[in-house]
Structure 1
C-alpha cells in the first residue's frame, strides 16, 4: 500500500506498558467482543425511516450489548494519544485508521446526512482492560461495542505473517478495516440487535448469526478498500484474500487438528470470508453487504 500522503488518525490511544488482562477472563468470540470476522442496507434504510433495523427483517427488537460469559461493561482506562507515534508499525496503523475515518465519514454524510462518530483504537501489549472486560493478546484484535473502541496488539501482524502465512501491509489493513466494520454495525444499531437475537437463540442459531455478522464486517472492509484503490499496489488484493483465507473457521480448526464442526463456526469459512471481502471490494456498495438476506454465504 502507498500511504505516503495519507493523514494519520489522532484517535489512537497508546496503552502499551499497562499490564491489565493478562490473567483475566477471555472474551468468547462472537459474544462480548466482535473480533476478526445485521444488515447494513436495512440498517441505513431503517435509520432513515426512524425504525428498528432488525425489526424490518423479523429479528427480535431490543437494545444492549454483551452476551453470555461477558463481564459487566466497565469504563476502559483512557489515555491521551501521544503527540507523535513511534515506529513504522504505529504510523502504518494510524494512517490506515485515518483512511477508514475519511472513507466512512463520507459515506455516512452521503447516505445519512450526518458524520460518523469515529472509534478510538487502543494499542496494547500482552493484556488490556476494555469496556467488555479483560482481554489478552492471544485472542487477537477485537472491537468492543460496549465502549465502541478497537483493541490491537500490533504483534498480531507478526503472527498473521509467520503463523498464518498471510504477510503484507494490505493483509494488516484488512484486519483493521474489519474491526472498523464492526463499529459501523454498532453505530447503526445492528450489533445490539444481533446480540439480542443471539441471546434468544440456541448455540447453533446464535453462531449462525455471528457468522453473518462477521462476514458482513469482511464485506465492509472490502467496501473501504474499493474506495481506496488509489492506495493499493500490485499484489495487495491477493494479500488481503490470503489473510481472509488464513483466518477462516474451517482452516483454523484443521490447523488445530480438530474435527470440523460447522455448527461451532462463528466467523465463517475461508471461502466465505474471501467471497464477502471480494464482494465489497468489487462493488464498493454497502447494499452488497446484505449477509442476513443472502441465501448463499
Structure 2
C-alpha cells in the first residue's frame, strides 16, 4: 500500500503513558510485550467499545472523566504515527465528500494514541482492549503496539490490514454522527437483543465493516495506492477475527448466541459490499438477513 501518498491529518493526538498498568513502551519501537489480552476476543479490533470499557451501553454518552494531562499533537517523525495520520487524513477526505454530497458537514474525529492505558469519556481502558471508538467524546483510541500484535497473533502485518483497523473505528464514528448508536441503544432498551447471531451488536459491527469498505473504495479512486495483495491482507484479517473463528480457536466450539461481531464470512461479505460498491446505501445491515 502506497500510504505515503495520503494527506496527513492534524487530528492525531498523543495521550502519552497511561495508567493501564502493563509494561512500559518507551521510545519509537512499540511492542505489546507482556500485555495480557482480554482472552482471544480482546484482539478483536472491532469490539463494542462501551462494552469493553465496562459501560455496557453502545449508545450512551457519559460524562468525561477528569484527565490529569491533556493529549498533545503526536510526534511527526515517527513512521507509525505518520502512517496513522495518512490513513486518518484519507478517512476525513472520504467522509467529508460523502457527507457534503448529502448536504451535511462531517465532524472529524480525533485519534488518540496511548500507551498502557487511557482515560476517556467512556471510562478508563488498558491496551488490552485494542483499538476502540468512544461515542462519549467522539474519539478513536489506538495503542500502536496493537499492530505488532496483529502480526504475531494473526500473522497479518500488511499496511492495508492496519488501515482497515483505523477505517473500521472511524466507521463507528460515522455511525455515531448519523444516529445509529442512539437507535441501537433505544432498540436495546425496548428489549431488542444486543448479542446473538442476528443481534444488534453484530449488525452494528458489520455495518462498520461495510463503511470501512466504502472508505477503501473512495480512497483508492483518489490515491490509486492499493498494491497486489493489499485487499487480500484486509480480507485475511477480517476472516481471522470472525466470532466463529475466534470461538473455535479459544474454546474449540462455536456458540452463535454469544456472537457480537459476526462470522468470518459475514465480516468479509460486508467489507466487500462496501469496497465493491463505494455506496453507504448498501450498508444497511439492520434490515433483513445478514
Answer whether TM exceeds 0.5 for this pair: yes
Provide Cα deviations, 1:174-200, integer angstroms capped at 9, x if missing partner.
010000000000001111110221233
Which of 125, 144, 147 in structure 1 is aligned with 2:134?
144
Q: CA deviation at 1:7?
A: 1.4
Number of equivalent positions: 261
1:99 equivalent in structure 2 = 90
Whole-angstrom distance in 1 between the partners of 2:123 and 2:178: 23
1:259 aligns with 2:220: no
Which of 128, 153, 177 in structure 2 is aligned with 1:187?
177
1:89 aligns with 2:91: no
Deviates more, 1:242-251 or 1:189-198: 189-198
Report 1:212-231 matches (<5 A): 212-229=203-220, 230-231=224-225
1:42 equivalent in structure 2 = none
Whole-angstrom distance in 2 between the partners of 1:175 and 1:206: 22
1:284 aligns with 2:278: yes
Q: 1:191 to 1:158 in 2, by over 3 A?
A: same
Which of 145, 150, 167 in structure 2 is aligned with 1:155?
145
Q: Secondary structure at the match of 1:74?
A: coil
2:288 equivalent in structure 1 = 294
Q: Secondary structure at the match of 2:112?
A: strand
Whole-angstrom distance in 2 between the partners of 1:21 and 1:105: 37
With a CA cutoff of 8 Å and minimum separation of 6, indicate the structure with the bigger relative contact order: 1
Q: CA deviation at 1:106?
A: 0.6
Whole-angstrom distance in 1 between the partners of 2:198 and 2:124: 22
1:268 equivalent in structure 2 = 262
Q: 1:244 to 1:290 in 2, by over 3 A?
A: same
1:126 aligns with 2:116: yes
Taking structure 2 as the reference length, the TM-score comes to 0.83
Deviates more, 1:251-260 or 1:156-165: 251-260
Q: Secondary structure at the match of 1:150?
A: strand
Q: CA deviation at 1:75?
A: 4.1
Q: 1:249 to 1:206 in 2, by over 3 A?
A: closer
CA RMSD of aligned residues (A): 2.6
Q: 1:154 to 1:226 in 2, by over 3 A?
A: same
Provide Cα deviations, 1:137-193, integer angstroms capped at 9, x if missing partner.
112110011111101011111111110122200000001000000000000111111
Q: Is the 8 A contact 2:113 2:144 kept in 1?
A: yes
Taking structure 1 as the reference length, the TM-score comes to 0.81
Q: Is the 8 A contact 2:196 2:202 kept in 1?
A: no
Whole-angstrom distance in 2 between the partners of 1:280 and 1:19: 37
Whole-angstrom distance in 1 between the partners of 2:18 and 2:126: 12
2:34 equivalent in structure 1 = none
Whole-angstrom distance in 2 between the partners of 1:240 and 1:226: 13
Provide Cα deviations, 1:222-251, integer angstroms capped at 9, x if missing partner.
000001221211111000100111111111
Q: Is the 8 A contact 1:170 1:236 kept in 2?
A: yes
Q: Is the 8 A contact 1:66 1:195 kept in 2?
A: no
